[in-house]
Every structure is written in structure tokens, then in C-alpha cells.
Amino acid sequence: MNTPTAFDPATTALLVIDMQRDFCSPGGYAHQAGIDISRTQAVVPQVQRLLAAARAAGLLVVHTREGHLPDLSDCPPAKLARSVAAGAPIGSYGPLGRLLVRGEQGHDLVDALRPLPGEAVIDKPGYGAFYLTGLDSLLTRQGVRQLILCGVTTEVCVHSTLREAVDRGYTCTTVGDATAASQPELQAPALAMIGVEGGLFGRVSSTDDTVEALRAVAPVEVAEK
């Protein structure tokens, strides 16, 4: 993994991708689809550390949630069909309510990673966080040009968001050990793709290195605690 570039709190945002009950909790979409959710649950402590460091440094923090309107009018038929094939039809009922539907218990973020008042929450109907959302407008208004990405899953929503961000000109750092793939064999290749061709999709860092870099730019009274 590469060490991250220096972070300017005024132009950097932490993007926490889809740390929802539907992807991390028993009875949610991922669990219903047969995914080992212990992998997504395992990154919660790393994301907690990143959140604490980003908040202390004064970064913009953005949380995303994948999910659809109750009538599924924003869910393309092909996506719905894929969820049926996976054994977890979007909109069907499970222990946490209707799968991947906004307003349901499963759609919300896990308790350990609740947003603080004032932190942005972006609800997205697609895998990428820029598709049909106001994320780019929010980041532009705040003067953000650099993103730190973490969350789940590495090979789907993290990578989709990363690629969308790179196409829009953002400099990106993906925190590898604060992301998790749906299958263990996908994690390393998904991270390896980021650094091809001299860092085509940015760079990969660790939680330790990223937290250290954020502490370096935090106010002195916070950094010394």
C-alpha cells in the first residue's frame, strides 16, 4: 500500500460508503443473498477510526446509502432481476423490512457509524454515489477536490464511486483495510486495480497511515489528545 498524500482539510472529504444494516447486519440484503457479512462487519472499527480522525481534522464527512423508493420506480428492471437471481429480491420483505428500500430498518446505517448532526447523508439508487444524486454538487459547493473512500463493498459500490470520482477530476485515496469485498478472493484484485498505470484510480492507504496523516493536519489541541 502507498502512503497517502497530505490532506488539506479545506478541500478533502471522507466518503463512508454504504455501511448499512442491509450490507452489515443479519437479515439484511447481503445476508439474504448468501454473503458472509462477517467481512463487512469487520471493517466497522477501521471506519470508526477514520470518522474520528476526519471529524477532528475538520473534514467534510459524507455517508452514502444504497436503496430505492418504496414503489421501486427508481430501480431498473435489470437491477431488480439481478437481485432476484442473487436470492434477495429488492423490495421483498426480510427481518429488517423491505430489502434495499428507503425508510426501512435495513436501509439505515449501522448504529456504530451513525452520522453526527450536520453530516451529509446521500441516498443513491445505483452502485456509484454520483449517479442521480447531489453528491458532486455538494462537494463542489464545499470546495472539495480530494476524497478518502472507505466502506462496502470494495468491488461494487466502492469501486463504482471511485471511478465516477476520478472521471470528475477528484484525487482519491481508498483505505484498503477499511473496505470489504463480498467474497474474500475479490478484495486484493479490487485494490490492485486502483494503482495500475501509475495510480489510474488514485492510491491505496491503510487506516493507520490515513489516520496519522489526518492527525498531522488536525488542530494542535485535538492532535495532542
Residue 79 annotated among the catalytic residues of the structure? no
Catalytic-role residue among 123, 157, 172, 177: 157
Catalytic-role residue among 18, 22, 123, 177: 18
Please give the C-alpha separations between residue 22 and each of 70, 103, 107, 135, 168, in angstroms, as whole numbers.
Answer: 15, 12, 6, 21, 28
Catalytic-role residue among 124, 150, 172, 177: 124
**Pairing between β-strand 93-94 and β-strand 97-98 as defined by DSSP bridges:** antiparallel
Q: Give the E-state strand segments of the chain in sequence order.
A: 12-17, 60-66, 93-94, 97-98, 120-124, 146-152, 171-180, 203-205
Residue 18 annotated among the catalytic residues of the structure? yes
Residue 157 annotated among the catalytic residues of the structure? yes
d(CA 114, CA 63): 9
Rg (CA), the chain: 17
Exposure of 51 in the CB half-sphere (CA atoms within 13 A): 18
The amino acid that residue 209 corresponds to is D
Q: Which residues are catalytic?
A: 18, 124, 157
